[in-house]
A = this chain, B = another copy of it.
C-alpha cells in the first residue's frame, strides 16, 4: 500500500516477534517522524549487537568478551551450577538475587517436534565443565513446560551417575508457563524450594 522504502520498513518490522502489521505501520510512521539522531541510535544498536555480541566460551551466555560478566566474577560460587535454556533466563534469575553460583546456557530445550535433540544443545560443554569435580550441585532451571521437563529428566539421568547433587527448581511457577515471564518473588521461591530429582 505504501511507496517503496516505507513498505520495506513495515515489512521488516512486521517480521519481528510480537509485531503485527498494524504495530509495524505504527512504528514505521513513528520512525518517519522521529529525529534522524534517534533512528541512528537504533541503527547503531542493531549493528553493534550483531558485530560485538558473541557467546561466553564457558557458559554460553551472551557476552561482549571471551567470558561473560558472571564467568569473570571470582566471587561467584564455582560449586553450584544452574542450567538454563536461554540467556534471558540468566537475567531473570539474576534479578531474584537468590542465586550466587554460576550458569550453563543450553541454547534451547529438547523438543522432538522441532527436531532438537540433546546433541543440538550445549550438553557436551556441560559434561566437560563438570569433569574437574569442582561443581557439586547442578540446579536444572529449564522452563516448567513439556520441553523443559524433558530436558531436566534427560540431564538428571545423565548427571546422577557422576555423583552430583542434581536439583530442579520448584514448581511454584505456573506449569506451562515461560520462565522469563515469572515475577521475581515466585522465581526466588522456586529456587528456595528446589528438590532432588528422583529418576
Residues of A near any B CB (own CB < 8 A): 1-6, 8-9, 11-13, 15-19, 22-23, 25-32, 36, 38-50, 52-53, 62-64, 68-69, 86-88, 91, 94-95, 180-181
CB nearest to A17 among chain B residues: B30
Cα–Cα, bound, A180→B10 (Å): 15
Cα–Cα, bound, A6→B184 (Å): 21
Q: Contact check, A9 vs B88: say whether CB atoms are below 8 A apart.
A: no
Q: Name the prevailing secondary structure of the A interface residues.
A: helix
Contacts of A86 in B (CB 8 A): 29
Contacts of A68 in B (CB 8 A): 3
Contacts of A49 in B (CB 8 A): 5-6, 8-9, 28, 31-32, 39
Contacts of A23 in B (CB 8 A): 18-19
Show 29 A/B contacts (Cβ-Cβ < 8 Å), sorted by A. A1-B94, A1-B95, A2-B91, A3-B62, A3-B68, A4-B52, A4-B64, A5-B48, A5-B49, A5-B64, A9-B46, A9-B48, A12-B42, A13-B45, A15-B38, A16-B30, A17-B30, A18-B27, A19-B23, A22-B180, A26-B88, A28-B49, A29-B87, A32-B53, A39-B46, A39-B47, A39-B49, A39-B50, A46-B46
Known: A36-B50, A88-B25, A88-B29. A45 touches B12 (CB 8 A): yes
* Apart from the given pairs A15-B42, A32-B50, 8 other A-B contacts in the complex at a CB distance below 8 Å: A1-B91, A2-B91, A5-B45, A12-B41, A13-B45, A22-B181, A32-B53, A32-B62
Cα–Cα, bound, A34→B40 (Å): 21
Q: Contact check, A42 vs B29: say whether CB atoms are below 8 A apart.
A: no
Q: Contact check, A6 vs B46: say whether CB atoms are below 8 A apart.
A: no
